[in-house]
Structure 1
Amino acid sequence: MDKKKLQKSRMWKYFVEAATEIIEEEGARAVTIRKVADRAGYNSATIYNYFDEFSHLLFFASMRLMKEYTVEVTRRMNDKTCALDQYMTAWECFCEYSFQQPDIFHSVFIRDLGDNPDHLLEKYYEFYPSDLVDVPEEIRMSLLEQNVVKRGNPILKRAVEQGSLDLEKIESLNEVTILIWQGMLMNFLNNRIDATPEEAASRTMFYVKEIIDRLKS
């Protein structure tokens, strides 16, 4: 890496790490451009030399706090051989962690990422490649998919190959399960449901399992 790219990489990480520290100390909703700039030791305008949108900075900082989830979902899915079981297991882990850290998961999977949301995950893992160490290729494909509606597709395509799911049902299964989770998470974040994180995760998984059972072969 040449000096210019190395300097840019360092600056990029300064801001991401500053935002990550604020999230850890005060929560994701407390992050502002001014706070990040002050903590990193630069003025606010400098940040926009490295991030097209504030939401991108928040996305990358939130990803720094998802390492435990990515490690755990990989571990659990590796214990399954049936693709549909892997899909169910992935959802169980996703619900468990997302309702424990709703603002983090909202920043990564729901928040408006502006006009240029593509390839953000690839860029993140380019700067933090160690976060993907030992992740199997099939799971890696799901983790690298920016569009949350498509994240389960590699696993569901294998479920079709194994005969546990019809090809024409992939899109419906993937989309409906995502919509269930998004609705529950938004209600949870906005205090529209009276539930603990564990209860919200359990209720979401009840509906996800219902959909999977109805659509599987």
Structure 2
Amino acid sequence: MWKYFVEATAQIIREEGIENVTIRKIADIAGYNSATIYNYFSEISHLVFFASLKFMKQYTEEVAQVYKRNDLAPMEKYLRAWELFCQHSFQNPSVFHAVFIADLGSHPEDLLKHYYSVYPSEIIGIPEEIKPVILEHNISKRGRVILEFLVKEGLMKEENVDAINELTIMIWQGMFTTFLNNRSTYDPEEATRKIMLYIREIMRNANHFSFADEPQSADLSS
């Protein structure tokens, strides 16, 4: 029953867009009345969140392929992962907003775990080292997990991780917000290129920054 409603929501997103998702439409497609939906979902944002995750599969698989490659250095894997995140987020901004930014009124990490418990096949083949990234809703925590790989390789100072993480996320969030709100003239390719230009420069100089007087790290999950 839970799957029926998620699949119905995904169909609406695919055919009409997230902005046109309604409880009545979901119920009609699933073949149940609207009241039944609330026996399984406390609010419509959860349905949109679960359905949007189904559109994240290609992104997840592409990131997994990057981390399976033995011919890429750790830093290049990090940069490639960021590039994929940018490409997919600008190609499908409403989905990425629903998954990473929208207010869910609940604990997103619990929703995410529940989704993959229902659709375990979607994380088959994901390298163990990046499963904590895929199973993490909080953007800050996702970024930190990947940066820790670079610390272990001696490519970044541990004391710089939080600041570098915040810098890169803020760059993406700034561009993504203007893009989502149609305040930018960039197309997805140009937006990605701009962000990666800045992120590559940050990573090139990562160990030369001094954040001794840095304030306590903020949570950038919303």
TM-score, length-normalised on structure 2? Answer: 0.88
Are 1:22 and 1:28, in contact at CA under 8 Å, matched by a contact in 2? yes
Deviations 1:6-28 (A, max 9, x none): xxxxx110000000011111112
Deviation at 1:128, TM superposition (A): 0.5
Q: How many residues align?
A: 207
Superposed CA deviations along residues 90-110 of structure 1, whole A, max 9, x for unmatched, are 001111111111111111111
- Structure 1 range deviating more: 172-181 or 93-102: 172-181
Q: What is the CA-CA distance between 1:158 and the residue it aligns to?
A: 2.1
**Residues 40-189 of structure 1 correspond to what in structure 2 (within 5 A)?**
40-79=30-69, 81-189=72-180
Distance in 2, matches of 1:186 and 1:152, equals 19
**C-alpha root-mean-square deviation of aligned residues, in Å?**
1.5
- The alpha-carbon deviation at position 115 of structure 1 amounts to 3.0
Q: Structure 2: which amino acid aligns with 1:129?
A: P
Q: What amino acid maps onto 1:192 in structure 2?
A: R
Q: 1:85 aligns to what SS in structure 2?
A: helix
Question: How far apart, CA to CA, are the structure 1 residues paired with 2:87 and 2:25?
Answer: 30
Structure 2 match to 1:27: 17
CA distance in 2, matches of 1:165, 1:143: 22
Please say which of residues 12-21 and 171-180 is displaced more in the overlay: 171-180
Using the TM superposition, name which of 152-161 and 97-106 deviates more: 152-161
CA distance in 2, matches of 1:14, 1:134: 26
For residues 146 and 25 of structure 2, the distance between their equivalents in structure 1, rounded to whole angstroms, comes to 40
Q: Is the 8 A contact 1:84 1:155 kept in 2?
A: no
Tell me how far apart the structure 2 counterparts of residues 28 and 21 of structure 1 sit (CA, whole Å): 10
CA contact (8 A) 1:95 1:201 kept: yes
Structure 1 residues 54 and 150 mapped into 2: Cα distance closer, same or farther (>3 Å)?
same
Partners in 2 of 1:169 and 1:147 — Cα distance? Answer: 19
1:166-215, Cα deviation, whole Å (9 max, x unpaired): 00111111122112112211110111110111111111222222222222
Which segment is superposed worse, 101-110 or 146-155? 146-155
The answer as to whether partners of 2:143 and 2:165 remain within 8 angstroms in 1 is yes
**Runs of 4 or more consecutive aligned structure 1 residues displaced over 3 Å after TM superposition:** none
TM-score, with normalisation over the residues of structure 1?
0.90
CA contact (8 A) 1:110 1:182 kept: no
> Percent identity of the aligned residues?
53
Q: Which residue of structure 2 lines up, in the alignment, with residue 16 of structure 1?
A: 6
Where in structure 2 are there 5+ consecutive unaligned residues?
209-222
Report the residue type matching 2:8 in the other structure.
Answer: A
